[in-house]
Structure 1
C-alpha cells in the first residue's frame, strides 16, 4: 500500500469510527472492537511470543489486517512483558513465565492496602503508592535500600521507555503502512475500581462499604483527580481517539450501592476528561442492566459504551440510543462455536435492529476472544458489509485534530512528590532562566507520576 492509499484509508476508517461515537451519519456500521485478542493468535503466535517479542506481535497484526481489511480499528495486546519482569510484578501471571506459553495472561487480585491505611492513602495517595503499594506488588522492590531494589526502579523506568518506543513505532507503522487507527489511547480506572482491584481487593472492599463507608467515599473523591491526571498523561494529544476505561465491579453492586459509592466519582472523572476535549470508551463489563440509566447523565455523544456478552445490547439501545454510542452484540459463544451461517443471520439481525439510525459499532462482548473461528469472523464482516450500510455516498472524514491542552477548572493541580518550588528552595534559587529548568523538572515528575499510577490497572 502506497502512502497516499494508506492515508486515505486511515482517514476513512477514523472518520467512520469518530462519526459513530458522535452519533453522526456515516456510510456503514464500523467494525471496531476495543480489544481484538483474536488478532494476537490468528497468525499462529503463542501468547508468550506476542507479549515478549514486539516484531512477532506486529507480524501477527499484519497477517490479521491482510486477511480482514474491512476492520476499522485495531488494538490487541496491551502487555509488554519485559516491563513486568523488570520489577517482578505480582499482579499478573504471564505466559511463558508463570504459565504455559499458550495460556493467556491472568490478573491476580488480593489485598495490597490495609484497612487502617485509608487515612494515609487519602492524605497523599502518590506517596502511599511509592512507599507502601509498589513494594508489595513488585518483588524486586521488596528489599529497601539494596543495590537490587535500586536497580529495579531504574530498570522499571528504562523498560517503560522501551515499551513507549514499541507502542509509538507500532502505531506509526499501522497508520502509515496499513491505514489502521487505534480504538483508544490512554486509560484510567473508575475510582471505586482503583480501590477494589489491586488496593483493597474485592472481598475487603465489599466489607468496607459497611465498615468504613465514609473512608471509601473520601478515597474515591481523591482518586477522581489522580485518575484524570493519569488518563491525560497517556491520552492522544491530538484527541483523535477515546480514552479507555474498563469497569470491573458495577455488576456486583446493587443499584443503591452503585449510586452511593461508584457513580459519583466515576461520573466526575469522565466529565473532567470530556471538559478537557476528549471522548471516553467505557467497557461496561458484566451486566450493567440496573445501572444503564445513569449513563444518560453523561454528555451526549462523548462516551462509547461497550456492552458485554452478559449484558442486553437491545435494552442498551433502548436506554442509550440517541444519547450515547454503543458497541457489542456479537455473541462470543457464536463466534467460537457457531457456524458461518448462524453468525451471518445473527449479525444481519443486529444491523437491522440495534444498528438502525446509527450510534452503533459491531463488536463482541467488549472484545473478540482468542478462540474465534476465522471463518466465523469472516462471516461477521461479510454480513456487516451487506446489511450494515447506511449511505454509501457518505465519504467519512476524521474530525480536525485538537492539539491544544484544555484547562479544566474542576481538576485539581497534579501533586508532585517534589514540586518545583521545593526543589528551587533547596538549591537556594537558580542563576539563569528559571522557566527552562522548571519545565524539564516538572516533565520528569509528571512522567514518574504516570509510571507509578499505571500499576493500578
Structure 2
C-alpha cells in the first residue's frame, strides 16, 4: 500500500503533466467545493462561513470521503476572503438570512467616485486599509486573524494525499472596483469618467503585482486562482473589455507564472468571444477553468493546444441529475476534452445541495472506481 506522501507525489505529478499539456496515466480529478461540504456533513452554514478552522475540518472530512481525488481547489473558507476580492459586504445565514442557507453579496454602493482620486493620489494600499476598516467592518483584522491557518490547512490536505489547487486568489482592479461601486454605477463610470477609472487601475496594478510576488515567493504554493466574473466579455463591448480588463488580467497571470505557480483561471460567466486572447498567456503554464457558461468544447477548439482545461460538470446536473447522467457526461469530457491537457472538475463550485452520489459518479468516471 502506498503512503500518503507517495500518493501525494503521484497525484501532483498527474496534475503537473496535465498542466504541461502532456498525457498522464489518467485524467486527474480536482473538484471545487465550499458550502457542499457543510451540506454533506450537516454543518450549519451560519457557523461554517465565519469559522476558518471549522470550514477546513469540514472540507477535509468531506472530500477525503468521496473517492480517489487527486486534489481540491479550496482548503478552507471564511466570508472575509470574498469581501477582500469584491469590496462588498455579505449577508450571512443566521444573521440577515435564514439559518442554514447560503451567504449572499449585499450589492450596495460602498465605494464612491471620489475614491478614484484617493487611489490615484494616496495609493491603492492606503485606500484598501481605510476601506476595510471603515466600510467593511474592519475586514483587515479578520483577514489577518485567518492568515496563519492557511498553511496548516494546506499541510493537512497534503498529509491526506491531496493537492490543494487554490492557495490564495487574485483578481484585477476591474472586479474590485465593480464590487465596491456596484455593477450599475461602475459601468456608468467606464463611459462617464473612463480616464479617471483607468488612472486608478494603473495606480493599483504595481501594488497588486508586488503583493503577488511577495506572497507567492514566500509561500510557494502549487497553484492559486486568478478570478474573473463580472469582467467576462459577454457583459462588455470589445473596446471596453480590451481597455479595462485584458491588459490587467494578463499582467496578473504573468506575475503568478513568474513565481513558478500555476494560475487557475477561475472564469465565471461567458468568455467565448475573446478566447483567442488567452493564447497570449504562457503556453503549458495555466489552467482555463470555466463555470459552465463558457462552452468548454469551444475552449478545447481554440485553446486545447495551448492551455490545460479544467471543468465543467454542470451544477444542475450534479443537483438534479442522475448518477448515470453525471458519469456519462464526465466520461464524455474525459474523452473529448482530454486525455491530455485536461483535469476533470466541477463547473465553478459544487452546488450547496449537490447529491453526494452524483459527486462520487463524477470522480468514478476519472478513476474507474
TM-score (norm 2): 0.89
Q: Which residue of the partner structure matches residue 296 of structure 1? A: 279
Q: Is the 8 A contact 2:14 2:28 kept in 1?
A: yes
Q: Which residue of the partner structure matches residue 96 of structure 2? A: 98
Q: Is the 8 A contact 1:186 1:232 kept in 2?
A: no
- Larger radius of gyration, structure 1 or 2? 1
Distance 2:35 2:7 in 1: 23
Q: Is the 8 A contact 1:31 1:361 kept in 2?
A: yes
Distance change in 2, residues 1:284/1:83 (3 Å)? closer
Distance change in 2, residues 1:323/1:205 (3 Å)? same
Aligned runs of 1:104-253 on 2, under 5 Å? Answer: 104-123=102-121, 124-131=123-130, 133-139=131-137, 157=141, 159-176=142-159, 178-198=160-180, 200-235=181-216, 237=218, 239-249=220-230, 250=232, 251-253=234-236
Following superposition, the deviation at residue 58 of structure 1 comes to: 4.1
Following superposition, the deviation at residue 68 of structure 1 comes to: 1.8
RMSD of Structure 2 on Structure 1 (CA): 2.7
SS at 1:30's partner residue? coil
Residues 277-328 of structure 1: CA deviation (Å, up to 9, x unaligned): 3321111110111121111111111221111111100000001101011111
Q: Which has the higher strand share?
A: 2
SS at 1:291's partner residue? helix
How many residues are aligned here? 363
Q: Is the 8 A contact 2:56 2:75 kept in 1?
A: no
Q: Is the 8 A contact 1:283 1:307 kept in 2?
A: yes
Q: Is the 8 A contact 2:72 2:164 kept in 1?
A: yes
Distance 1:236 1:39 in 2: 31
Q: Is the 8 A contact 1:38 1:371 kept in 2?
A: yes
Distance 1:335 1:191 in 2: 33
Q: Which residue of the partner structure matches residue 317 of structure 2? A: 334
Q: Which residue of the partner structure matches residue 344 of structure 1? A: 327
Distance 1:238 1:90 in 2: 27
Q: Is the 8 A contact 2:313 2:345 kept in 1?
A: yes
Q: Which residue of the partner structure matches residue 20 of structure 1? A: 18
Distance change in 2, residues 1:52/1:125 (3 Å)? closer
Q: Is the 8 A contact 1:29 1:362 kept in 2?
A: yes
Structure 2: which 5+ runs fail to align? none
TM-score (norm 1): 0.73
Structure 1: which 5+ runs fail to align? 141-152, 388-457
